[in-house]
Each structure stands twice: as C-alpha cells, then as structure tokens.
Amino acid sequence: MINWADGKGWVTAGGKRLEWAAWGALGAGPVIVLLHEGLGCLALWRDFPERLSQATGLPVFAYSRANYGQSDSGDLPFPVDYMTRHAVDVLPEVLDAIGAAHVILMGHSDGATIAAEYAGRVVDYRVRGLVLMAPHFFTEEMGLAQIRRARDAFADGDMAEKMGKYHRDPVATFKGWNDGWLNPDFAAWDVSEVIDFLRIPALVIQGKDDQYGTLRQVDEIVSRSYAPVDVLIPDDCRHAPQVDQPEAVLGAVSAFTQRLIAHEAAQPERA
C-alpha cells in the first residue's frame, strides 16, 4: 500500500518497481489515475496533474510503467498485446496499492487504450468513469506511417538525448514502443471488442489534427459503448490534447467528473 501523504514514491506491480506521484487529498472524491502515452512517463505530464487536481477538486495519481521514466526496465521486445497485458496483469495491483474506494481512469494514447481495456476486461466496481485522450482500438496506416517516421527521426537525430532527460534508458523506452507498433503482426491488432463490455460513462478527447489516428477511433466507441459517451474534438490540436489545448481538456474533465459525482450522489443507497 502506498503512503499518499508522501506525495511520491515507489510501488511494486507486475513484478516491477514503478515510480509514482500524487496530488490533492486522498478521500476528497474518486482518484483520477493517469496513464501515460507510449513515449510518456510521470515527469512528462509536467504540471498537468496538479492543474487537473485543482480544476476538478479531486486527488490525482500518476505513475510510470515499466521501461519508462525512472521505473524498472521492462521486458523487451514488447509483445503485440502489451497494452492488454498491462491492463490485466499490472494495473489491478497499482489500483490495489492506491487503496481508493473509487477511481476514474484517465489515459492518453497507449494509456487510454489500457484504461479502456481494463474497464472492458476486468470487473472492478471501483472504476466509475473513463477519460480517454487519443485512444486507439485498431491500427490505421496513417498512424503506422507516423511511427515509422519517428523511427527514422530517432536514428538520425538527437531524440535519444532529449528523451534521456526523462527516461532512465531512452533507447529501451523508444524501442519498446516503436518496435512493438512496427511488428508486422501489429497491422492486424484490434481490441475494439472491449468497447462492447463498457458499463461506465466515458469522456473521449481527440485533437482534430491528431497525426496518429483518425476520428474513426472516436466513432467506434460512440457507436458501440453501452454506457454514455461524451466527446470533445478540439481545433488546433494534434495527438496530445493536454498539451495543445489544456484549458479545453481541464474544463471538459471537470464538467464530466462533476456530473459523475452528482449522479452517484443522487442514487439511493444500497441496503
């Protein structure tokens, strides 16, 4: 069990030691659990978690998955189903360690997919809502083309040096993500079936100019989810809405969480 009062520390999940940090007061409402993108980590959320806690009035928890940030090294190469494995095998242990009665999973890119997979594959009544920023449920050629460009940029430029400011082993971090997505078997990757099992409200946010995925990803969850889905498509926004349009994201998440809390407060208590 983590000690929330410490504000940061280490948690063991999936057999790996993972770095974490927390903002706000535990017990002030459901904890928003942040799940980072494919090249993200705890530090790369920058000031967003603190601003998110202030905007929503809720506690926020973030951590780096294995192979990211200062967490333990991950097992390479990543299998094609690496997001599913994290959702099923690792995230439950993280949530247990937080010790919160209720949580809202908020993910970006790979992290959004992990959040949706958890909600669709694991029965966990602690999870009350989803915030999915730039989720992907299936591959698209335009996204794979962008990932191939990233591979070339990493080989020819100073990307490793820049990533080294945030990741203990930037080469392993990049290769885990890039080699996973460019595995020939990944072209057929599709986890959209998890949408059919969602039973909690979701807020889906995707930049209008997202270079890694089209609005087909959003349409998929809107058309298939059993539960309500709110959508925000910010203009002048690429793959990272929390970076390109932070005020729009914070406003939408705040309104979404307030509705969730108000709805639950209006429900009759169970005997």
Model pLDDT for residues 89-104, shown as the tens digit of each residue: 999 999 999 999 999 9
Residue 219 lies in a domain: yes
Do the domain assignments include residue 269? no
Does the residue 232 lie in any domain?
A: yes
Q: Which domain holds residue 28?
A: 4-262
- Residue 13: is its pLDDT beyond 90? yes
Q: Is 271 part of a structural domain of the chain?
A: no
Please choose, from the candidates 115, 141, 109, the residue with its C-alpha nearest in 3D space to the C-alpha of residue 38: 109
When pLDDT is cut at 50, 70 and 90, the band that residue 264 belongs to is confident
Predicted confidence band of residue 119 (pLDDT cuts 50, 70, 90): very high
Residue 242 lies in a domain: yes
Q: What integer pLDDT is reported at residue 218 of this predicted model?
A: 98
- For residues 28-40, give the mean pLDDT: 96
Q: What is the mean pLDDT of residues 122-143?
A: 97
Task: Give the count of domains, the chain.
Answer: 1
Query: Which pLDDT does position 158 carry in this prediction?
Result: 94
Nearest alpha carbon to residue 230 among 143, 104, 129, 92: 129
Residue with the two structure tokens 């992290």:
111
Binned at pLDDT 50, 70 and 90, residue 265 comes out as confident
Contact between residue 102 and residue 129 where contact means Cβ atoms under 8 Å apart? no
Least confident of 82-96, 216-230, 255-269: 255-269
CA distances from 244 to 82, 175, 253 (A): 27, 26, 15
Decide if 267 is inside a domain: no
Q: How many CA atoms, within 13 angstroms, populate the side-chain half-sphere of residue 246?
A: 10
101 located within any domain: yes
Q: Is 224 helix (H, G, I), strand (E, B) or coil?
A: helix
Whether the CB-CB separation of 203 and 132 falls below 8 Å is answered with: yes
* 18 in Cβ contact with 66 (< 8 Å): yes
Q: What is the CATH number of the domain that holds 69?
A: 3.40.50.1820
Count CB-CB contacts under 10 A for residue 121. Answer: 15
Residue 270 lies in a domain: no
